[in-house]
Amino acid sequence: MSSVEGQPVGNGVTSLLRIPPLAPPSGRAGLRGELSSEWTKLRTVRSTMWSLVAMAAISIGLMSLIAWAMMHRWDRFDPGERADLAAHPLEIVLARPVFISQLVVAVLGVMVISAEYTTGMIRSTLQSQPRRLTVLAAKVAVFAALMLVVGEALSFAAFFVGKQVIAAHIVVNLGDAGVTRSVIGAGLYLALLGLFSLGFGAILRHTAGAITAVLGLILVVSNLTGLLPDSWGHHINAYMPTNAGLLIIQPHPQPGDLLSAWQGLGVFAGWTVLVLAVAATLFTRRDA
């Protein structure tokens, strides 16, 4: 072994390369860390934020264009049509944005969890946090908070923009009976729909299949149940998840409604809890 001034070079190199031992791990991975992880994953995926921006732009922009076209043709409507439009202003300024937005929310809700199964990232997630219920709870909490903020912001933005577009012929204010509840309720409906869709994503674990199931339920099955005969058919239709939930955006009850606005939202919340409970059970029992 060579030496410099009588000192072995090998010993010096060894001492320079010696790495101090790592400190023993302390504590344990919990919900707080998982919440931070899920928020990081959600906000750093560009498709999520761009989808939300596109949802707001399309829903409010399309609503404004349709409302402007209707107001432009106001003189061509007969008195009965004018009275009907004036009696249901939220059909113009709120129901249409919600209808468009719910499609995007359903897709995002599914992809919050199904995309991890598609890419295989779910294995890394469960290796870093083996407590599966903690993982699912964090996903639910983060996405619920995001959709609640986005849903309420979109609802109020749609209302105030639409109010200005129709102001020349139809006057509507937050102080009118049932209007504030409808606007707030629209945001709550979108948040619940996001969680409902997330549950389907966790159950089916396949993006295309889960999106098809949720959108089919919203757009097809819910409407087809209205064709069922007799009172039992009427009850089935009324208690379908989104049929019940959408009652919250009606400022006044309609003839034939079996549920009030808040009862309808409660039924939808019950369906959402049921779907998430099934999702949690399967999430803890199935292999990733």
Compare 105 and 125 and report the one with higher pLDDT. Answer: 105
Count of the separate structural domains present in the chain:
1
Determine, yes or no, domain membership for 5.
no
The rounded distance, in Å, linking the Cα atoms of 91 and 136 is 36
Beta-strand runs (E) in the chain: 3-4, 7-8
pLDDT reported for residue 13 = 47
Determine, yes or no, domain membership for 150.
yes
Give one DSSP letter per residue of 225-267, joined into a string.
Answer: GGGS-HHHHHHHHHTSHHHHHGGGG-SSPPTT-SS-HHHHHHH
Determine, yes or no, domain membership for 1.
no
Instruction: Please answer whether residues 243 and 222 qualify as being in contact, where contact means their C-beta atoms are separated by less than 8 angstroms.
Output: yes
Query: Domain limits at 65?
Result: 30-285
pLDDT reported for residue 147 = 95
- Per-residue pLDDT of 76-113, as tens digits, reads 888 888 998 888 899 989 998 999 999 999 999 999 99
Determine, yes or no, domain membership for 7.
no
- Per-residue pLDDT of 223-252, as tens digits, reads 999 899 888 899 999 999 999 999 999 999
Instruction: Please answer whether residues 112 and 11 qualify as being in contact, where contact means their C-beta atoms are separated by less than 8 angstroms.
Output: no
Average pLDDT of the chain is: 88
Percentage of the chain with pLDDT > 70?
90
Determine, yes or no, domain membership for 154.
yes
Determine, yes or no, domain membership for 101.
yes
